[in-house]
Amino acid sequence: MPRNDKLVLKPYNPLDKRNLGESVADKLLEMDEQPLPPEPFIGAGVYAIYYTGSFSAYGRLSEVNREGQFRCPIYVGKAVPAGARKGGSSLEVEHGQALYKRLTEHAESIKAAQNLDITDFYCRFLVVDDIWIPLAESMLIERFKPVWNCVLDGFGNHDPGKGRYQGMMPQWDCLHPGRAWAARLQPCSQTSEQLAERVINYFSKNLPEILEL
């Protein structure tokens, strides 16, 4: 059979949703890192949190983030305006301090943890038009696979409220005890030692691949 040496290249579409999402994610990574929480500001958008401390299970992660490198976040998230969650709302929604408040909530969770120090945490954030916020968050999680997104669930959880403590304690709180509301939940199915080992194994298999991106 005759050989076909013609290479077929897929045309680049800048408006493809993946390309759009990656462009927003790339812009976030260009932002300067700041201590967590940052100074107050207005806007909604996406963010990445970085760890540089000495908690043993995060040793490999801290190494790649120290000395101003900030190469791999420990957590990625988003903050959308309150009005954006309501069906039939206008396309123009007042952002308020949605992103700042979310970062402040995370800082309070870290401060409550008995084995974490808030001074070891930094963040990057980007105010984004509402429509691109979920897409950018998905791209960042897919790219970096942050350990608090992919291995330890529960960092971004809120107090479920009185009468709703029949659920299990999040894995994040099992490894980082301290949040008062989490202590009211049912015991975690794994010990903190087991979770720490799981984190270490995760970094040994995934972190080198992530840093090659």
Whole-angstrom Cα distance, residue 148 to residue 90? 33
Whole-angstrom Cα distance, residue 90 to residue 171? 37
Q: Look at residue 9 in the predicted model and tell me its pLDDT.
A: 66
Count of Cβ atoms closer than 10 Å to residue 13 Cβ? 10
Which DSSP symbol is given to 58? G
Place of tokens 């988003």: 78
Give just the sign of the alpha carbon dihedral 115, 120, 124, 125: positive
Mean pLDDT of the chain, nearest integer = 88
Q: Look at residue 131 in the predicted model and tell me its pLDDT.
A: 86
Question: What is the pLDDT confidence band of residue 3, given thresholds at 50, 70 and 90?
Answer: low
| H-type alpha helices, the chain | 17-30, 59-65, 98-112, 133-144, 147-150, 171-175, 192-211
Whole-angstrom Cα distance, residue 90 to residue 80? 14
Task: Provide mean pLDDT across the span 188-198.
Answer: 96
Q: Look at residue 21 in the predicted model and tell me its pLDDT.
A: 67
Question: What is the pLDDT confidence band of residue 90, given thresholds at 50, 70 and 90?
Answer: very low
Give me the sheet containing 34-35, strands edge to edge: 34-35, 121-127, 45-51, 75-79
pLDDT at 187 over 90: yes
Summarised one tens digit per residue, pLDDT across range 106-122 is: 999 999 999 999 999 99
pTM of this structure? 0.87
Whole-angstrom Cα distance, residue 29 to residue 48? 8
Least trusted range by pLDDT, from 33-42, 77-86, 101-110, 111-120: 77-86
Q: Look at residue 88 in the predicted model and tell me its pLDDT.
A: 40
The SS3 of residue 45 is strand
Most confident listed range (15-29, 69-83, 169-183): 169-183
pLDDT at 178 over 60: yes
pLDDT at 89 over 50: no
Task: Provide mean pLDDT across the span 43-57.
Answer: 97
Kindly list the domain boundaries of the chain, sorted by start residue. Answer: 20-211
Task: Provide mean pLDDT across the span 154-183.
Answer: 93
pLDDT at 185 over 50: yes
